[in-house]
């Protein structure tokens, strides 16, 4: 990109703020303008030196941008399309950051038929939201899916791919429909499964809530993503219903097949299903590149005595390692080690393992 690079942002939340921070880091002299409904967010971004101009409504600062990023919810992004038309020039590439693509592509074709649009989906995120939680490193080493619109030529796609690489992400160009089917399979349906497993336990639990008290291990791992934002997932379901329901139907068929094999005591067939699934799961790349945020967790053996947790925490803090969560695991039918420690990132976990092993602790970790 040239040193005169200019970017505009519609909404400056977690993803928009992170991309803006990353652009500022890679292109220090870039001109960045942002529209946001919260003046406090704009003030913070201006104070941080991330944006050069902030506004609560579209103005001339959006004229002649190299890229304009739509970073609000899909319906909000669509509401800005007509208003953006006067600000788009021949060099302007319009993009978004949403996890569902068909709806925004259809809207762009309707309201901006001459626009060069390439949908974008940085497959990274956080359980926290808003500009205050954005990071210039959020999308680094994450897949960044591009979905070119009908007016996007090879030169436009290559230009965007080059930017993505400079920002430290991994560009992957897909058809919008294929993107929505892939994300339905690896993100949307797993979230539906997790939410409904939690519903099942809640419904089947005893008045004393023994299931809730004992739940740990596999249950907590497989339902972790049920703690995601309900508003966001309501929107995703309404934006990608055909592909989610298609895959849910296939998943239900598989569950019914498994149920029938269990009822029929078909051990060999069950074993084949489990073994094939295990082999495929074990072949999945162990890297935080997908849409479901990876956790960095270890377990270790500790003596049941006063101060045991404090000693471990002190060892880690003395080396500047931040702990996201720490606690005793009471149900260890699935995992080894009484103490569970969750770190913020892979590097912290690796340093923590090294420090604790040096002190003689036995560590258990799994992908």
pLDDT over 60 at 222, yes or no: yes
Burial of 229-264, coded b for 16+ CB within 10 Å and e otherwise, reads eeeebebbeebbeebbeebbeeeeeeeeeeeebeee
Spatial neighbors of 220 by CB under 8 A, at least 6 apart, are none
Whole-number pLDDT of residue 333? 41
CATH number of 179-282: 1.10.3660.10
For residue 171, which of 147, 195, 207 has the smallest C-alpha distance? 147
Q: Which residue has the higher pLDDT, 289 or 208?
A: 208
Question: How do the domains of the chain map onto residue ranges?
Answer: 6-174, 179-282, 296-365
CATH 3.40.190.10 fits 6-174, yes or no: no
- What are the distances in angstroms from CA 120 to CA 67, 140, 191, 205? 12, 15, 21, 42
Give a three-class secondary structure readout of the chain. CCCCCEEEEECCCHHHHHHHHHHHHHCCCCEEEEECCCHHHHHHHHHHCCCCEEECCCCHHHCCCCEEEECCCHHHHHHHHHHHHHHCCCCCEEEECCCCCHHHHHHHHHHCCCCCEEEEEECCCCCCCCHHHCCCCCCCCCEEEEEECCCCCHHHHHHHHHHHHHCCCEEEECCHHHHHHHHHHHHHHHHHHHHHHHHHHHHHCCCCCHHHHHCCHHHHHHHHHHHCCHHHHHHHHHHCHHHHHHHHHHHHHHHHHHHHHHHCCCHHHHHHHHHHHHHHHHCCCCCCCCCCCCCEEEEECCCCCCCHHHHHHHHHHCCCCCEEEEEECCCCCCCCCCEEEEECCHHHHHHHHHHHHHCCCCEEECC
Report pLDDT digits (tens) over 106-148. 999 999 999 999 999 998 876 667 899 888 888 888 899 999 9
Give the torsion sign (CA, 73, 74, 75, 78).
positive
List the CATH code of the domain at 296-365.
3.30.70.260
pLDDT level of residue 202 (50, 70, 90 thresholds): very high
CA-closest candidate to residue 291, choices 232, 238, 250: 232
Is residue 334's pLDDT more than 60? no
Structure tokens at 41: 């967010």
Tell me the C-alpha distance between 36 and 62, whole Å. Answer: 13
pLDDT of amino acid 3: 57
pLDDT of 24 strictly over 60: yes
State residue 292's pLDDT score.
60
> Do 70 and 96 touch, CB atoms closer than 8 A?
yes
* Residue 2 predicted with pLDDT over 50: no
Lowest mean pLDDT among 94-103, 147-156, 286-295: 286-295
Whole-angstrom distance, CA of residue 142 vs CA of residue 172: 10
The stretch 19-28 carries a mean pLDDT of 96
pLDDT (tens digit, 9 = 90+) per residue, 236-273? 899 999 999 999 999 999 999 999 999 999 999 999 99
């Amino acid at each position: 990109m040239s040193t005169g690079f200019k970017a505009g942002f519609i909404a400056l939340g977690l993803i928009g703020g992170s991309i803006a921070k990353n652009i500022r880091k890679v292109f220090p002299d870039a001109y960045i303008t942002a529209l946001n409904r919260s003046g406090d967010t704009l003030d913070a971004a201006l104070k941080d030196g991330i944006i050069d101009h902030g506004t609560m409504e579209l103005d001339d600062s959006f004229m002649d941008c190299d890229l304009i990023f739509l970073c609000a919810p899909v319906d909000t992004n669509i509401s800005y399309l007509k208003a953006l038309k006067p600000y788009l020039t021949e060099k302007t590439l319009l993009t978004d950051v949403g996890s569902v693509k068909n709806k925004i592509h259809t809207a762009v074709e309707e309201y901006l038929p001459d626009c060069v649009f390439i949908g974008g989906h940085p497959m990274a995120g956080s359980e926290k939201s808003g500009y205050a939680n954005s990071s210039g490193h959020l999308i680094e080493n994450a897949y960044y899916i591009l979905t070119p619109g009908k007016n996007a030529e090879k030169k436009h796609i290559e230009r965007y791919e080059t930017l993505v690489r400079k920002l430290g992400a991994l560009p992957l160009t897909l058809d919008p429909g294929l993107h929505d089917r892939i994300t339905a399979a690896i993100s949307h349906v797993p979230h539906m499964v997790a939410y409904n497993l939690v519903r099942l336990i809640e419904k089947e639990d005893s008045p004393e809530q023994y299931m809730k008290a004992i739940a740990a291990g596999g249950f907590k791992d497989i339902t972790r993503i049920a703690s995601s934002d309900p508003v966001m997932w309501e929107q995703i379901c309404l934006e990608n219903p055909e592909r989610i329901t298609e895959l849910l139907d296939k998943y239900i068929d598989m569950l019914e097949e498994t149920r029938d094999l269990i009822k029929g005591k078909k051990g060999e067939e069950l074993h084949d299903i489990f073994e094939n699934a295990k082999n495929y799961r074990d072949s999945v790349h162990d890297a935080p590149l997908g849409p479901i945020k990876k956790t960095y967790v270890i377990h270790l053996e500790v003596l049941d005595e006063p101060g045991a947790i404090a000693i471990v925490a002190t060892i880690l803090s003395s080396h500047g390692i931040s702990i996201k969560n720490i606690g005793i695991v009471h149900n260890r039918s699935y995992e080894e080690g009484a103490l569970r420690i969750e770190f913020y990132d892979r590097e912290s976990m690796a340093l923590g393992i090294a420090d604790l092993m040096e002190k003689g602790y036995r560590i258990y970790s799994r992908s």
